[in-house]
Amino acid sequence: MTASSKIADYQSYRGVPSLAGLATLTEAARPGLGIEACVTRLKRFHYAFRRLHEIFTAWITAEPIYEIKTAFSLHAYLCSEHVLALRTRVGEMREPPLGLEVVPDPALELLFDEILAAPTTTERLVGLYEKALPALDAALERHMADTNPLTDAPSVRVCRFARLELADMIDFGVKSIACLVDDEARRGMELWSKLLDDCLAVSGGIDGSMQPLDRAIARRHSATPYRYDPVPRRDERFQDLYNQGVNPEAFLYDPSFDPQSKTLMMLFKRLREIDVPEMMASIIHETKGKPWNYYRDMSRQLWDEARHAMMGEVGFVSLGIDWKAARITHNWSLRLNTECTPIERHAVLYFIEQGLMAKTGKRYEWEVGVQSGNPLMATIQDFDWADEVLHASLGREWYIPEFGDRKQAIDYGDQCWSKVLSNWTTVYDQGLTQHENWWPAIYQQACATWGIAADPHVLAYRETYETQRADLKAVSGSG
Ligand SMILES: [Fe+2]
Ligand SMILES: [Fe+2]
């Protein structure tokens, strides 16, 4: 009697699925991979996700296209979660010391170095979504096919979850490439694209399980080592990036204005939060040697802030308002990124976010949202508030311990913010902006949607940031 016929004769209890539904007896009776082979592959997956997290994060600031910037924010976060899951799994497999910081293969290192150093959006999109992510997905698929589904069930679970999200990321990438990468761009990156294929072939795939190709590979974009670009960039829909001509906080906390009009200022504040991922990316990229949980938590917060910006976008669009009429400044992220150290930036972020926990902070914004009679506004502010409570707790976990004392840590944040306080006059004198008052244009569009006549008092609002910082030393800023 052969092994397979013995298995075929085996019956579970009244036909209930065997093996907790993980696999058939036949599948689980194949020996599959041993621990050592599994760990070798998992470490390579871990390396790939870690490098992808690095690349997505590094380019959030300088990527001009808003849709790509926000997607990189999500994809960086997703990668950080998969890194954590893989680290945890490797730690369960008789591994300490884990050796998770070791580069598993120089050809893989070259692959990711090249994508990191790619100078254009189109090359980064192709490198990430046509090369690296599909190769990683294929390697995870092979792991699920090669390993024993019963003995290695915990790794299979990690791979399955990773593949679900990789599929979403690849889908986004493929659709974006179809919109942004034309034939000419393709021709321009032919040799480079071939180099990426060669890196994968020389490494035997992301998992190293295939016969490696013996071919010389030489650096192109990464021949000059990559340097992080801290200057935030925006696409052409974002104009007048130094504008500080409207102070939304002063409006929001002025009892003489109505909740409905205030929702417009809140939507502006949400959309303006795109400057927070631009700034947080610099902290994450420039802060080395922290436990992985730090990078995961910071990436989560970064993604939340990108999400807050998109809530503002959705709110404006749902009211039929062309948000381009507002001035979504990059002044805050630019100054923090170029004038402060990473810990000073984190200090400012924490200082602002703990301020949002006060009665006049996120609770107030939610109350205004509820009072406005716009249910979407209430939902947006409800979740924005919850996210900010999480961020304040992440700050307590990762920022406060740098000082040991909460008061000192907050004072330091206050000082750091004062350092980049107002450049209202400087940017005006340099001709970078006229601080144009964009408020009437946005308010009048909203009035048209609401079918009401503009209230002269609301329409006449013209408070700027000239004399007041966003917390009205005082009210709140980005966060
Ligand atoms: Fe936040
Ligand atoms: Fe936020």
Q: Which region among 9-18, 261-270, 463-472 has the lowest average model confidence (pLDDT)?
A: 463-472
Reply yes or no on whether the pLDDT at 197 is more than 60: yes
Q: For the segment 398-432, what is each residue's pLDDT rounded down to a tens digit?
A: 999 988 888 999 999 999 988 887 788 999 999 99
- Cα-to-centroid distance, 332 and ligand 2 (Å): 14
Mean pLDDT score across all residues of the chain = 94
Confidence at residue 471, expressed as pLDDT on a 0 to 100 scale: 64
Contact between 127 and 196 under an 8 Å Cβ cutoff? The reply is yes
Q: Which two tokens stand for residue 384?
A: 């924005």
Evaluated on CA atoms 145, 149, 155, 161, the torsion sign reads: positive
Which ligand is the nearest neighbour of the Cα of 389?
1
Rounded CA-CA distance 345/351 in Å is: 10
Structure confidence at residue 478 (pLDDT): 61
User: To the nearest whole percent, how much of the chain has pLDDT over 70?
Assistant: 97
Ligand 2 centroid vs 380 CA: distance in angstroms? 11
Tokens matching residue 247: 């102070």
Residue 215 CA, chain-centre distance (Å), reads: 36
The candidate with the shortest Cα–Cα distance to 104, out of 208, 215, 221, 223, is 208
Q: 94-132, pLDDT tens digit by residue?
A: 877 788 999 999 999 999 999 999 999 999 999 999 999
Q: What is the C-alpha to C-alpha distance for residues 223 and 475, in angstroms, rounded to an integer?
A: 47
Tell me, in angstroms, the distance from the centre of ligand 1 to residue 304's CA. Answer: 7
- The confidence score (pLDDT) of residue 165 equals 98
- Taking the centre of ligand 1 as the mean of its atom positions, its distance from the CA of residue 335, in whole angstroms, is 18
From ligand 1's centre to the CA of 306, what distance in Å?
A: 10
Confidence of residue 52 (pLDDT cuts 50, 70, 90): very high
**For residue 44, what pLDDT is reported?**
98
Average pLDDT over residues 353-365: 85
Contacts of 70 (CB under 8 A, 6+ apart): 274, 277, 306, 307, 309, 310
For residue 386, the CA-to-ligand 2 centroid distance in Å is 10
Cβ < 5 A residues, ion ligand 1 = 388, 391, 479
CA of 277 to the centre of ligand 1 (A): 10
Fill in the DSSP letter of residue 178: H
Among 411, 267, 268, residue whose Cα is nearest residue 328? 268
Inform me whether the pLDDT recorded for 217 exceeds 90.
yes
Tell me which ligand sits closest to the C-alpha of residue 384: 2
Answer yes or no: are the C-beta atoms of 244 and 177 closer than 8 Å: no
- Cα-only R_g, the chain: 26
Query: If you average pLDDT over residues 204-231, what whole number do you get?
Result: 97
Q: How far is the CA of 301 from the centre of ligand 1 (A)?
A: 6
Instruction: Give CA–CA dist 472/352, Å, rounded.
Output: 12
When pLDDT is cut at 50, 70 and 90, the band that residue 473 belongs to is: low
